[in-house]
Amino acid sequence: MTENYDLVVIGGGPAGYAAALYGSAAGLKVALVEENKIGGTCLHVGCIPAKELLETASVLRAVRQAQDFGIETIKEPAIDLSISQNRKQTVIDQLFTGLNSLLVGREVTIYSGKGFLGPERKIEIKKDNETETIQGKNVLLATGSTPRTIEGFEIDGKIVVTSDEFLSLDQIPDRVAVIGGGAIGCEFASLLNDLGSSVTLLESLDEILAGCDKDVSTSLRRSFSKKGIDIQTGVKVEGHESDGQKTTLSWSKDGDVNQLEVDLVVVSVGRQPNGNSAGLQNTQIGIDEKGYIEVDERLKTKEQGVWAAGDVINTPQLAHVGFAEGIFAVKEILGECPVPIDPETVPWCIYCDPEVAFAGLTEEKAKAAGYEVSVSKHRYSGNGRAMIIGETEGLVKVIAENKGDGKAGRILGVHMVGPWVTEQLGQAYLAVNLEATVDEVANHIQAHPTLSELFGETVMSLTGRSLHG
């Protein structure tokens, strides 16, 4: 007999497991189909392992700085990558166990196998030559994404890797080329630089973190260059020739061809949506030319009762956006009419050194959208806590829409680069999404001495009065 569910979720990454947990909390009978490991990219080869290794880099930086605080470290700090990798795996394993227990505790039925969706929301689950069929009143496709590759750089897992292999590296390479200066490329370049590799970051666009506010990307570029990362923008990588131990990579800029000998090439050029991973044969579901499942702003596909969420749809490829979309789909199913998620105002956090965090419109985007804006920028170099921790690079930038009287009103965007900004973004995110004005935010107290004071100070400047400039 075919088992029936209120909701069948295909894909157990952040978008899928969030929908499963939220749906069961709302009283739905839920099934979750996963072909690999519950937790998806984020838990196994994404956010968690990347941030865990970046924390190793952060500890190493702190130990290197120890003498500035009068702490004798006796000898140069050295890293044992196997211990760091074990620690990373322990964190993943703990979260994995916790997540499985949560799903079981919520009575979500987990099907292990590859799910294929056909007409009338029938799902065939295939594993080891066996097929099981279940049926959903509603179905959520959350099949995620996999690393993109580029021609001429076949992944061998040894000299040419994507994030999947990179995160399990067992030794620190001497010389590395990171192809792609987006969020993941910048995190990897920063990590490798801290661990002692000589790093060249190759980006085809004119700037690293191209979608960020210009002041932020310029500031990050300056910090990276100061750390010794060689950044080459506006370049085209042509190919590479490997001798099995190392490789010579060719890249061109303005017609000049350059060669670079490295021990490792990390390809981080974005992620390919798994649009057709669940088959979707004889359904009305559309997949666009980039491989994304087509949805409307309510995350509905063209097939009745079928939604899609997470990296597999064309919205910011972030775990927390996946969580939000999974929850949104469940609320839709429950008929609660949730407010659509605005991709322009979601929070972004990038965990390189210095960190980057932002929410809302950049100055360029705000102006292009026709807003008259006021802008304020404050640097961490004047912030007491930043001086105390010895990390004074970076800035906070706030963009506000001008009111009729020309004074700053609603906060449209907040952009940060500097120490622990990923942990400071919360109040900025709320300000943007609650459509708060600069006066409303400036009325609130920032604790002293904190790094977050810089956000308060930057907003206060936009009221026309300020304390420290």
Positions touching ligand FAD (CB under 6 A) are 10-16, 33-36, 40-42, 46-47, 50-51, 114-115, 142-145, 163, 184, 274, 277-278, 310-312, 317-320, 322
Residue 46 beta carbon to ligand FAD: minimum distance, rounded to whole angstroms: 3
**Closer by beta carbon to ligand FAD, 63 or else 96:** 96
Name which of 141, 101, 95 is nearest 117 in CA terms: 141
Instruction: Round to whole Å and give the CA distance between 37 and 11.
Output: 9
**Closer by beta carbon to ligand FAD, 47 or else 414:** 47
Name which of 166, 180, 184 is nearest 311 in CA terms: 184
**Closer by beta carbon to ligand FAD, 31 or else 396:** 31
Residue 192 beta carbon to ligand FAD: minimum distance, rounded to whole angstroms: 13
Give the pairing type, strands 145-147 and 271-273: antiparallel
For residues 333, 336, 340, 345, the Cα torsion angle rounded to the nearest 10 degrees is -120
Give the pairing type, strands 175-179 and 160-161: unpaired
Strand ranges of the sheet holding 408-418, from the earlier edge strand across to the other edge = 348-350, 355-360, 408-418, 395-402, 373-379
Catalytic residues: 448
Distances (CA, A) of 362 to 35, 219, 367, 374, 452: 39, 15, 9, 12, 20
**Closer by beta carbon to ligand FAD, 211 or else 384:** 211
Residue 78 beta carbon to ligand FAD: minimum distance, rounded to whole angstroms: 25
Residue 433 beta carbon to ligand FAD: minimum distance, rounded to whole angstroms: 17
**Closer by beta carbon to ligand FAD, 203 or else 457:** 203
Residue 19 beta carbon to ligand FAD: minimum distance, rounded to whole angstroms: 9
Q: In this structure, what token pair is assigned to residue 432?
A: 């943007």
DSSP 413-441: EEEEEETTHHHHHHHHHHHHHTT-BHHHH
